[in-house]
Amino acid sequence: MAQVELVAGKAGMHQEEARLEALAATGILDTAPEANFDAITRLAAEYFKADTVLLGFGDESRVWIKSSWGEPVRELPRKHSIFERVLAEDGPVVVPNVEDDAEFSRVRLPLRRIEAQSFASAPVRSGDGKILGTLTIFSCQPRRPMAITELHTLESLAEIVAGQLELRRLRKAYSGHRGRLERNAERVTGIWPRKSDLREALDQRQFVLYYQPEVELATRRIIGMEALIRWQHPDRGLIPPMDFIPIAEETGLILQIGDWGLSEVCQQIQQWRDENPGRPAPRVCVNLSARQFSREGLADHVEALLRRTGVSSQQIGLEMTESSLIPDPGTALEVLTSLRRLGVSLLMDDFGTGYSSLNHLHTLPFDVLKIDRSFVMRMDEGKQPQQIVRTIVELARTMGMDVVAEGIETSEQYNLLRQLGCRVGQGFLFSRPVPAEAMSAMLRLPGRILPDPARPQTAAT
């Protein structure tokens, strides 16, 4: 077969070595299967109504199955495998009916219990394009030929696998780097802020909330907003959250800061309600950090606060990143369920950047998914990043969740997101986070519709 020659030829050998190096760099073959891979295969199975889905990575002679849905296979010879065929095609392979495929008689199906009649397989590539593995869906029935959008979805899922590999590598590199940085910072400068600085900031009421609108993309109508904390320091000026939230978190002061934030938001909602009689107050979303989340009785605390301030639970959203849920997934489900019962919205923040996004998405009762800024940022770079966003939007739709795109900065990103069916977004293109008074002015705009960013005019802020 031509494809086998390609691998055996001299150029092929070179390519093969580079591919194996890329595979080794991921460290994927030495570690146990990861939960997020299971989530990806499970989602692919649901999305395509497949009988089996396999995610495997191949070295020079074997294919290692890192996740399978419906089959207990773990290791296979590479020869005559689907992986080899994807390598040879240097791209996806779709076989709607194995009986019609002359070459396919030479490709061994990695299934023991079921007879697959059709399959589609997309490559998992390293950052520089080398094929490291495949994501393959199998069906016991011959399939109708695959629509191009379906194939794109399969490829996007395979890309999410690749993204996970990259994150895995970065995480490893970063943890070493961060350890060094922290030790250096301590030695050279001493840490600022200290716990006492934060406590003083609380006492002196130096924290402020800024608000960034969430906009319905089709109309540019403000439908909600996100509250983002800043520290108005008397000498150092306005300090962004990333410079103090991690320390607040570490020292435990985040609990008091978080309580302050929630009650501040409730008071602000009341004020906007008074200023806009007869108009619905938009939902305000608050970021919760890990400690707040794992605190006993979070739902009781929120309920008491709502009762005390007379704010309806529908007006509050709580944003959490996956990393804040990780310490204890069992409790996470319990806490989220009780918050959901109260009627507050639950938003998964920074979706796509965590350890096991798909897993959490699947098991926890979130109602909104916020696509991380890093994906939106790369959208103008080409088809692949767009495919990732498209897949996230489609997956969310399949699961009955709403999607908010974060960090929209350009008209191009805005237009693309609309084309991809993303309903809601936020970003500097519409407005930066602004103080409460500036947000009040935006809420007074006719229909609460923000100006068209493509036609520059005096901004409402």
Asked whether 298 and 340 are in contact (CB, 8 A), the reply is no
User: Considering beta carbons, is residue 135 or 257 the nearer one to ligand C2E?
Assistant: 257
Residue 319 as a binder of Mg ion (CB under 5 A): the answer is: yes
Q: Rounded to the nearest whole angstrom, what is the least distance from the CB of residue 60 to ligand C2E in the complex?
A: 42
Residue 349 as a binder of ligand C2E (CB under 6 A): the answer is: yes
Q: Is the peptide bond before 193 cis (omega within 30 degrees of 0)?
A: yes
- Report the partner that residue 228 touches, choosing among Mg ion, ligand C2E, none (CB closer than 5 to 8 A by kind): ligand C2E
Q: Which residues ranging from 127 to 166 are in contact with ligand C2E (CB under 6 A)?
A: none
Residue 155 as a binder of Mg ion (CB under 5 A): the answer is: no
Q: Taking the alpha carbons of 97, 102, 108, 114 in that order, is the dihedral positive or negative?
A: positive
The residue type of 132 is L
Nearest to 116 by CA among 90, 98, 134, 94: 98
Bridge-based pairing state of the strands 402-405 and 368-371: parallel
Q: Rounded to the nearest whole angstrom, what is the least distance from the CB of residue 271 to Mg ion in the complex?
A: 22
Q: Which residues ranging from 285 to 304 are in contact with Mg ion (CB under 5 A)?
A: 287
Residue 400, sorted as left (phi over 0), alpha (psi -120 to 50) or beta, turns out to be left
* Integer CA distances (angstroms), 12 to 58, 88, 452, in order: 15, 10, 52
Nearest to 111 by CA among 68, 79, 149, 150: 68
Q: Rounded to the nearest whole angstrom, what is the least distance from the CB of residue 53 to Mg ion in the complex?
A: 30
Nearest to 146 by CA among 121, 123, 124: 121
Asked whether 2 and 325 are in contact (CB, 8 A), the reply is no
Residue 407 as a binder of ligand C2E (CB under 6 A): the answer is: yes
Residue 319 as a binder of ligand C2E (CB under 6 A): the answer is: yes
- Which single residue brings its beta carbon nearest to ligand C2E? 427
Residue 268 as a binder of ligand C2E (CB under 6 A): the answer is: no
Q: How many chain residues touch ligand C2E (CB under 6 A)?
A: 23
Q: Which residues ranging from 275 to 294 are in contact with ligand C2E (CB under 6 A)?
A: 287-289
Tokens standing for residue 45: 């199975």
Residue 52 as a binder of Mg ion (CB under 5 A): the answer is: no
Residue 264 as a binder of Mg ion (CB under 5 A): the answer is: no
Nearest to 336 by CA among 368, 307, 310, 308: 368
User: Considering beta carbons, is residue 161 or 245 the nearer one to ligand C2E?
Assistant: 245
Q: Rounded to the nearest whole angstrom, what is the least distance from the CB of residue 349 to ligand C2E in the complex?
A: 5
User: Considering beta carbons, is residue 82 or 392 the nearer one to Mg ion?
Assistant: 392
Q: Which residues bind ligand C2E (CB under 6 A)?
A: 212, 228-229, 240-242, 245, 261, 287-289, 319, 349-350, 373, 406-409, 426-428, 433
Residues within the interface to Mg ion (CB under 5 A) = 287, 319, 349-350, 406
